[in-house]
Structure 1
Amino acid sequence: MSLWNQLSKDKWAVASMSVIGVILLAGVLAPWIAPNDPYAVQMRLRFASPSWEYWLGNDHLGRCILSRIIYGIRHSILWVLAALAASVLIGALIGFAAGYFRGRTDAVLMRICDVMLSFPGYVMMLAIVGILGPGLENILLAFIVMKWAWFARVIRTSVMQYAEMDYVRFAKAVGIRHRTILIRHMLPAALPDIAVIASGSICSMILQVSGLSFLSLGIQAPYAEWGMMLNEARAVMFSRPELMLAPGLAIVISVMAFNFLADSIQVALDPKLRTKSARRRTKEAENKAYEYVRG
């Protein structure tokens, strides 16, 4: 049974994908669905309460909070997904090369990965941002520099497992080119594992981007970003706590959706976890039926 069929039967996976789909679509269509200009400063509406025109009210500069939340999807999620894709691509290229060819290639590439992984991730990210300066581009660059080695390590392990399969050995024996084997045989086999680690990593990357922006090391004004919006509302968090509620909920809902999706993908791909999940659902159904009979 395919991964999609497995996920379509999981209500949490369907709900998570629906939430993620709505969020991504809102980010892509932000210029058309945002009710107001997210960068328009209107001091007469400073800290204005929610109204029909401004559903979530206005911030300290009179800007529309809802519009900034919608535009913030681009910096908080869409660009993070782009950095994740670049990190996975680099890690996959190195991981496939190391796990498939083994020998000297594996030794050299893994020593480079060891050097990169020996540095504390957060410290290196702060160092890169400190040297290059705050900004979205520098944060994304820091992500790519620090994440690719970890992806390469994990993907290499997966590729080494599939490289010992009989059909791969047979393909090598009949003289099929390495590139063909990697694309037609190794990539489809390792793709589910890559999907699991990528879906699990997006959550930490979203939180890290928001955290750096909250510390004024990430996205800079006037651009909208959820962590920066939390930082801007921090000064009035006791008198106007609702200003922190919208960006905070946006971060929580997004991270929860990606977390649930990552768990569902892992369960769908791991027969042991899938069996445990099925047994648990069966046990719950039996308990409900027993309680109904007793009642």
Structure 2
Amino acid sequence: MKLLRQLCRDRFAALCLCFLTLVAAAGLLAPLLAPHDPTAVQMALRYAPPSASYWLGNDHLGRCVLSRILYGIRPSFLWVLVALALSVAIGAVVGFLAGYCRGWTDAVLMRICDVMLSFPGYVMTLAVIGILGVGLDNILIAFALMKWAWFARVIRTSVMQFADADYVKFSRTLGVGHVRIMFKHILPVALPDIAVISSSAFGSMILQISGFSFLGLGIQAPNAEWGMMLSEARSVMFSRPELMLAPGVAIVLVVSAVNFLSDALQTALDPKLFASRRETRPGLAAAAARPGREVA
């Protein structure tokens, strides 16, 4: 809650958070918000310009571009969020075990992470897709399999900073169980760091899945996805540039909002960065100085 209050003091970060929340809501409610069926082919409306019924026009098969943008939120944003959550969960379990238990447990788990991290991420993702086949499900599986090791190593470092704290040692002396110590004493203080690394990876994962779909390795037709929409509009990029504009702007806005929010999270967690931002942004300083509000 304290972290959320600090984010809300930064108007731009709050704006990015609200924008991403609206994007997620639009993806969940796409069947209700989309004006037309995103897969309905109407060759009579092929390359039709924007109109009252089709706000963003129609593509090469006469499909509603706006409806496809809304439905494209699901694979490009929501399902990537699910893959990110799965990767972070696996990485958190491994990172907590390695950072808290130390010894041979840490050595074995970190050697496994070293093996996973020794291969280039894109190459291994392509290898997994080549083995499992193209499709959104296989890309998400590849993300979960390849990215957990990076999260595990970063989370391990964060856990090791708190595992030797006095209150943790005192809890061990009192006979408190290790699982309870990790959930009650270490997880709450490590959670902000996990949020920062997760948000920083989220934007790159969106770009990656859009890139794979652009190459034809991601979600397959007739389903909608932003990267695939860009690929479909390549042949008319000079005569009908607006067909690339809509999905391109959607990717840029979402990834930019995620990156700005990640930067705000890092600033909120670093007292020095937060203080410097207060000095350069009078509005934030005034909000932080109001009575009854804490400043990190």
Which of the five TM-score ranges fits, normalised by the shorter chain? over 0.9
Partner of 1:290: none
How many Å separate the matches in 2 of 1:70 and 1:284? 34
How many Å separate the matches in 2 of 1:211 and 1:284? 37
Q: Secondary structure at the match of 1:32?
A: helix
Are 1:218 and 2:218 counterparts?
yes
How many Å separate the matches in 1 of 2:262 and 2:2? 16
Partner of 2:181: 181
Letter in 1 for 2:99: G
Summarize the Cα distance change of 1:224–1:99 in structure 2 as closer, same or farther, 3 Å threshold.
same
| Residues 234-245 of structure 1: pairs in structure 2 closer than 5 A | 234-245=234-245
Partner of 1:65: 65
| Residues 67-86 of structure 1: pairs in structure 2 closer than 5 A | 67-86=67-86
Partner of 1:263: 263
* TM-score, structure 2 normalization: 0.94
Q: CA deviation at 1:218?
A: 0.7
Structure 1 vs Structure 2: percent identity of aligned residues? 66
Maintained 8 Å contact 2:10/2:284: no
How many Å separate the matches in 1 of 2:139 and 2:78? 14
Q: Secondary structure at the match of 2:217?
A: coil
| Residues 133-282 of structure 1: pairs in structure 2 closer than 5 A | 133-282=133-282
Stretches of structure 2 that go unaligned for 5 or more consecutive residues are 286-296
Maintained 8 Å contact 2:59/2:65: yes
How many Å separate the matches in 2 of 1:154 and 1:12? 27
How many Å separate the matches in 2 of 1:94 and 1:243? 44
* RMSD between aligned residues: 1.3
How many Å separate the matches in 1 of 2:196 and 2:262? 6
Of stretches 191-200 and 270-279 in structure 1, the one that deviates more from structure 2 is 270-279
Deviation readout 1:232-279 (Å, 9 max, x if unpaired): 000000110110000000000000111111111111111111111112
Q: Secondary structure at the match of 1:265?
A: helix
Summarize the Cα distance change of 1:284–1:199 in structure 2 as closer, same or farther, 3 Å threshold.
closer
Stretches of structure 1 that go unaligned for 5 or more consecutive residues are 286-295
Deviation readout 1:89-141 (Å, 9 max, x if unpaired): 00000000000000010000000000000000000011111121110011001
Summarize the Cα distance change of 1:284–1:72 in structure 2 as closer, same or farther, 3 Å threshold.
closer
Q: CA deviation at 1:174?
A: 1.1
How many residues align? The count is 285
Letter in 2 for 1:120: P
Partner of 1:291: none
Q: Secondary structure at the match of 2:233?
A: helix
Maintained 8 Å contact 2:9/2:284: no
Are 1:44 and 2:44 counterparts?
yes
How many Å separate the matches in 1 of 2:97 and 2:241? 52
Q: CA deviation at 1:281?
A: 2.2
Q: CA deviation at 1:284?
A: 11
How many Å separate the matches in 2 of 1:211 and 1:37? 25
How many Å separate the matches in 2 of 1:9 and 1:90? 32
How many Å separate the matches in 1 of 2:70 and 2:53? 15
Structure 1 segments of 4 or more deviating over 3 A?
Answer: 282-285
How many Å separate the matches in 2 of 1:105 and 1:29? 45
How many Å separate the matches in 1 of 2:194 and 2:228? 31
Deviation readout 1:130-162 (Å, 9 max, x if unpaired): 121110011001101110000000000000001
Partner of 1:115: 115
Q: CA deviation at 1:164?
A: 1.4
Q: CA deviation at 1:282?
A: 4.7
* TM-score, structure 1 normalization: 0.95
How many Å separate the matches in 2 of 1:95 and 1:197? 13
Q: CA deviation at 1:77?
A: 0.4
Q: Secondary structure at the match of 2:281?
A: helix
How many Å separate the matches in 2 of 1:284 and 1:55? 38
| Residues 25-40 of structure 1: pairs in structure 2 closer than 5 A | 25-40=25-40
How many Å separate the matches in 2 of 1:95 and 1:284? 35
Partner of 1:97: 97
